[in-house]
């Protein structure tokens, strides 16, 4: 039998999380728990990925709110074409499932050898070489929009956001099909946010959501962009919709609080704080208690350090403590303390996915000094 298309939607964003992939082919739906190796594709069944291959098992995955689509799978499970994927899945699969990246290039085109070599170099950690090879692939087939998209994905992964945005803009200039237009706006919107271009990020997210209106409640990134654009009513309404699909995320409750506090005052924000009971990430429940007036900053920090944790886990827990303490102090109008804690979070931003970028962008937009060394306290 020939290849079969499997269109897959990433339908939920729980932080702990039970990710639902929905296949529109023979087997309608399967679930895979966050951090489990997902099912290998077999002629129209599900092809998944290991989320923590990129971000870590307690991280809020930026890519999770998007739409994942388009695997063509041949007999035996070999992927022969990729139409659309979010960055974290794209990279995790490339590294863990021996992906055939050659489908970014025409089968008989001159770019094929460069794409294959770029994928190999990237998998070996030779990022400079991978970028040079990707550039050669684009030079070989300058009108192949898939190659520009491929190059944008590499730049995004390497945190070269301006170059990523430029690559995605080039994709759009080549007039791709409707689905790729929407995806590229999503990717460029994320790049724009990371560059501090907040209004531009919202404009791109709007295009994506217009194309896929069912993804609106999943799109917490747009809610965060609304906060930084001072569009607080739109922000808290976005987080209210997100709550309907992601019920146990303290971060959603906090961002709803922050937008509502700026729109209607901190008293109303406390009164309407969204109750969360199932977020097991340390110290998020203590953070929620703080925003509800039932804890203190000292307790949040103590919870982050509890249990004698060290290394990356301690850094992660302190990152979230520092970020949300900084945002708490912003809500309460204590600028000096806001700057202190946002600065500490921004100092380790590169290790913490999209929320790390939030901390860094917050510092940049507010001209907050960032320590040059990683804080351990």
Give the tens place of pLDDT for each residue, 117-138. Answer: 888 888 788 989 989 998 999 9
Q: Is residue 96 one of the residues assigned to a domain? A: yes
Last residue of a domain, one of 229, 247, 263: 229
Tell whether the torsion through CA atoms of 352, 54, 166 and 124 is positive or negative: positive
Q: Can you tell me the mean pLDDT for 259-287?
A: 96
Distance CA 287, CA 324 (A): 7
Domain of residue 38 covers 1-101
Whether residues 236 and 221 fall in one domain? no
Strand order in the sheet with 8-10: 8-10, 18-23, 29-33
Q: Is residue 262 one of the residues assigned to a domain? A: yes
236 touches 260 (CB < 8 A): yes
User: For residue 17, is the peptide bond before it cis, meaning its omega torsion is within 30 degrees of 0?
Assistant: yes
The half-sphere exposure of 291 on its side-chain side, counting CA atoms within 13 A, is 34
Q: Which of 58-62, 119-123, 205-209, 273-277 has the lowest mean pLDDT?
A: 58-62
- Residue 234's pLDDT is 98
Is pLDDT above 70 for 44?
no
Q: Is residue 372 one of the residues assigned to a domain? A: no
| 4 beta partners | 73
Write out the two tokens for 246.
């992601």
Whether residues 110 and 206 fall in one domain? yes
Distance CA 38, CA 33 (A): 8
Write the pLDDT tens digit of every residue in 84-117.
333 333 444 343 323 344 456 666 678 888 888 8
Whether residues 236 and 269 fall in one domain? yes
Distance CA 153, CA 82 (A): 13
Q: Is residue 22 one of the residues assigned to a domain? A: yes
Last residue of a domain, one of 185, 206, 229: 229
More confident call, 218 vs 87: 218
Q: Is residue 377 one of the residues assigned to a domain? A: no
Whether residues 177 and 277 fall in one domain? no
Q: Is residue 150 one of the residues assigned to a domain? A: yes
Write the pLDDT tens digit of every residue in 148-174.
998 998 899 899 999 999 999 999 999
pLDDT-derived band at 276, boundaries 50, 70, 90: very high
**How distant, in Å, are the alpha carbons of 45, 88, 225, 350, 355 from that of 55?**
25, 8, 21, 11, 11
Q: Total structural domains in the chain?
A: 3
Write out the two tokens for 66.
């998007």
CATH of the domain at 181: 1.25.40.10
Whether residues 14 and 90 fall in one domain? yes
Q: Is residue 375 one of the residues assigned to a domain? A: no
Whether residues 218 and 288 fall in one domain? no
Q: Tokens 């956001």 map to which residue?
A: 161
Last residue of a domain, one of 229, 263, 285: 229
Distance CA 5, CA 342 (A): 45
Q: Is residue 308 one of the residues assigned to a domain? A: yes
Strand order in the sheet with 4-6: 4-6, 69-73, 79-84
Q: Tokens 């929407």 map to which residue?
A: 182
**Strand, coil or helix: 71:** strand
Whether residues 150 and 223 fall in one domain? yes
**Strand, coil or helix: 19:** strand
Distance CA 234, CA 222 (A): 9
Q: Using only C-alpha atoms, what is the Rg of the chain?
A: 21
Whether residues 195 and 299 fall in one domain? no
Whether residues 157 and 272 fall in one domain? no
Write the pLDDT tens digit of every residue in 168-195.
999 999 999 888 899 999 999 999 999 9
**Strand, coil or helix: 80:** strand
Whether residues 144 and 53 fall in one domain? no
For residue 73, the 8-state DSSP code is E
Q: Can you tell me the mean pLDDT for 218-246?
A: 97
Whether residues 91 and 185 fall in one domain? no
Distance CA 301, CA 45 (A): 45
Q: Which residues of 85-119 are buried (b: 16+ CB within 10 A; e: fewer)?
A: bbbbbbbbbbbebebbbbbbbbeebebbebbbbbb
25 touches 6 (CB < 8 A): yes
Distance CA 369, CA 346 (A): 9
Whether residues 348 and 257 fall in one domain? yes
Distance CA 342, CA 360 (A): 8
136 touches 112 (CB < 8 A): no
96 touches 50 (CB < 8 A): yes
């Amino acid at each position: 039998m020939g290849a079969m298309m499997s269109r897959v939607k990433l339908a939920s964003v729980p932080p702990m999380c039970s990710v639902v992939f929905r296949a529109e082919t023979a087997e309608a739906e399967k679930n895979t728990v966050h951090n489990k190796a997902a099912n290998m594709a077999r002629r129209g069944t599900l092809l998944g990925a290991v989320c923590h291959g990129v971000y870590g098992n307690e991280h809020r995955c930026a890519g999770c709110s998007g739409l994942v689509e388009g695997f063509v799978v041949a007999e035996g499970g070999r992927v022969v074409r990729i139409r659309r994927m979010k960055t974290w899945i794209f990279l995790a699969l490339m590294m863990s499932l021996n992906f055939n990246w050659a489908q970014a290039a025409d089968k008989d085109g001159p770019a094929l050898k460069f794409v294959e070599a770029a994928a190999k170099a990237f998998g070996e950690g030779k990022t400079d070489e991978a970028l040079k090879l990707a550039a050669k692939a684009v030079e070989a087939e300058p009108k192949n929009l898939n190659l520009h998209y491929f190059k944008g994905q590499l730049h995004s992964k390497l945190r070269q956001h301006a170059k990523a945005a430029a690559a995605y803009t080039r994709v759009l200039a080549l007039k791709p099909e409707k689905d790729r237009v929407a995806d590229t706006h999503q990717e460029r919107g994320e790049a724009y946010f990371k560059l501090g271009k907040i209004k531009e990020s919202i404009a791109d997210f709007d295009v994506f959501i217009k194309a896929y209106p069912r993804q609106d409640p999943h799109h917490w990134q747009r809610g965060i962009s609304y906060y930084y654009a001072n569009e607080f009513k739109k922000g808290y309404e976005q987080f209210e919709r997100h709550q309907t699909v992601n019920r146990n995320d303290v971060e959603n409750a906090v961002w709803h609080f922050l937008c509502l506090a700026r729109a209607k005052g901190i008293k109303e924000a406390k009164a309407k704080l969204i109750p969360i009971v199932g977020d097991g990430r340390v110290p998020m429940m203590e953070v929620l208690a703080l925003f509800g007036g039932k804890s203190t900053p000292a307790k949040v920090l103590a919870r982050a350090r509890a249990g004698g944790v060290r290394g990356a886990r301690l850094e992660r827990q302190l990152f979230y403590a520092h970020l949300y303490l900084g945002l708490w102090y912003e809500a309460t109008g204590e600028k000096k303390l806001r700057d202190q804690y946002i600065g500490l979070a921004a100092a380790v931003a590169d290790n913490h996915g999209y929320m790390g970028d939030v901390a860094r962008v917050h510092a940049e937009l507010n001209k907050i000094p960032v320590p040059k060394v990683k804080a351990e306290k």
